[in-house]
Amino acid sequence: MIVVTGGAGFIGCQLVAGLNKLGREDILVVDDLSDGKKFENLVINNIADYMDKTDFRRLIEKRDPLCDEFEFVFHQGACSTTTEWDGQYMMDNNYSYSKELLHFCLERSIPFVYASSAAVYGVNTKFTEEPDNEFPVNVYGYSKLLFDNYVRRMRADIKSQVVGLRYFNVYGAGEAHKKGMASVVFHFNNQIKETGELKLFEGSHGYADGEQLRDFISVDDIVNVNLWMMDNPKATGVFNVGTGMANSFNDIAKLVVEWHGKGNIKYIPFPDALKGSYQSFTEASLTNLRAIDCKYEFTSLKEGVNSYLDDLNSVKPLT
């Protein structure tokens, strides 16, 4: 059985869909459905069972006999809200939970692939997986970096596959429940339909209006790199997962306007609350990912955004 924590979330549900395409339905999804709307990400996939995160933590703590069925763990479950400042909650949910699951997997030599984040780099211009480049500016990024470093310290004692994947700016189907944390593609699409106007930040951090740069990556690419890791058990370590090419928010906005054939761009003042803690530039270094022979070719921005807009604006059949 394959375990996917966060399997009702954005990336987790798409990973389950990817496993389904490979013919795998023996999947245990672990999540927290306090937000019941996330069920929509469950119903579209085929799984063997669902378990609440709290019950799952108890299960692995007790080493319940059900655990004997686990053969692979994709740990996608986390609070990914960069504006969440409840440090106690964040550290328990993102750090302590991850440690518990890591030790369980190491004890049983179960391959363990987990989600890290480009948030570990903070306000930076260098994005190689090295401690000198890692300065998170929010507690979310810190929780991810702390676990990456925990894995690094244990490296000499790790005998089974353990992989951390640092996701850059992910967009794609299944993210609607993320609300304010959903991608700019999602928000721009809604804005153009509701008001005909896209809102971008004015210039900041030395960048002109809307010219702040991010490494935007399709969720399909994220899924495929996760599945590549499952097929390559000798791969281990912490790796960036981005396209390796930064694009501006203006680039995204123009693609959305072009797809809809209408729309205006409006620049709004940069929020005071984000000053000093905003990543105005990210661009993944793929050197280490390529060094393990992962030659996967990432989707271009235009192809990925257009495909997502097709999905967002398609007429869904009644079921």
Known catalytic residues? 140, 178
Partner residues linked to 198 by β-bridges: 265
Give the C-alpha separation, 295 to 297, whole Å: 6
Query: In the structure encoding, which two tokens stand for residue 109, read together?
Result: 């030599």
Contacts of 82 (CB under 8 A, 6+ apart): 119, 138, 140, 141, 181
Q: String of b and e for 159-187 (b: at least 16 CB within 10 Å)?
A: eebbbbbbbbbbbbbbbebbeebbbbbbb
| Closest to 175 in 3D by CA, of 114, 217, 133, 209 | 217
Exposed/middle/buried for 49, CB within 10 Å: 0-12, 13-18, 19+? exposed
Query: In the structure encoding, which two tokens stand for residue 12, read together?
Result: 């987790």
Partner residues linked to 5 by β-bridges: 30, 75
Partner residues linked to 98 by β-bridges: none
Which residue carries 């090295």 as its tokens?
Answer: 130
CA 14 from centroid of its chain's CA atoms? 11
